[in-house]
Chains A and B, each alone.
Chain A
């Protein structure tokens, strides 16, 4: 079927959303999912999932459980569970996670380390 794009599920409501015109320079931490459509510089640490959408730009070190990148990330990513680089994303930095998925079309430069101990205690 003619180029049906996967539309990201509407992630409104309960989650935290950083909208496309928002610029945060500093630190974000929390215990819930975070959707980023804007720009974040500094540091992100979460216990849940981070979604960087197409318009999202991150210049930060990331520490989370899950990361899904469709936008741009510059910085190191450390996930306790999974990192997924979608098509059209652009990532520069090191990735450390037990599961790492890189889709066709994703642009990535950096080291990958999947040798994370089974115990997710970190």
Chain B
């Protein structure tokens, strides 16, 4: 009965602590603590706070997440989104204005194919650029700008320590 849309909503004043599993979209406007596992999309709205290990297909963060997020498809941090934790997903989108601290792992990088070489080459050129929020801004663009013609500067200027995310990413890619 009541076959509405298969969307679960955790309202603003609701606190869920423990484990939450499901096969449908979930919108969080309140708080979720513990573990969160979905086979569909998690949307954390601006009022939502998730302090959990998150495993989903897609994740859209407009609120706050503290914890690691593993997505089989994509993770997007919108301009209102705040996140502390590691992200593992093949597609990671961080828009201008988002705040993020942690690592990003986009998975296997095929070193054999030429395209990842251009990526590696393009990175040093990008690195000196970021100013205010290096991780947030550099991250999404690098994918799009991977075709940037190779190196204009000598490779590998020492990355600032604050750019933990970017720096580690480099390490991942080089493997």
Contacts and interface: CB of A to CB of B under 8 A. Distances in A.
Contacts of B2: 7-8, 10-11, 37, 53-54
Contacts of B30: 16, 30
A53 to B, nearest CB: 6
B8 A22 contact: yes
B15 A28 contact: yes
Interface in B10-30: 10-24, 26, 30
Contact of A22 (B4, B11, B18, B26): B26
B17 A19 contact: no
A56 to B, nearest CB: 11
Contacts of B1: 5, 7-8, 53-55
A111 interface: no
Interface size class of A (residues with CB under 8 A): 20 to 34
Contact of B6 (A20, A33, A34): A20
A113 interface: no
Given A22-B21, A22-B24, A24-B20, A32 B4 contact: no
A3 interface: no
B8 A17 contact: yes
A121 interface: no
A87 to B, nearest CB: 12
Nearest 10 CB-CB pairs, A to B? A26-B18, A30-B14, A16-B11, A22-B22, A19-B8, A21-B23, A31-B13, A23-B21, A30-B13, A25-B19
11 contacts: A7-B2, A16-B30, A17-B7, A18-B10, A19-B7, A19-B8, A22-B20, A26-B20, A26-B34, A27-B16, A34-B11
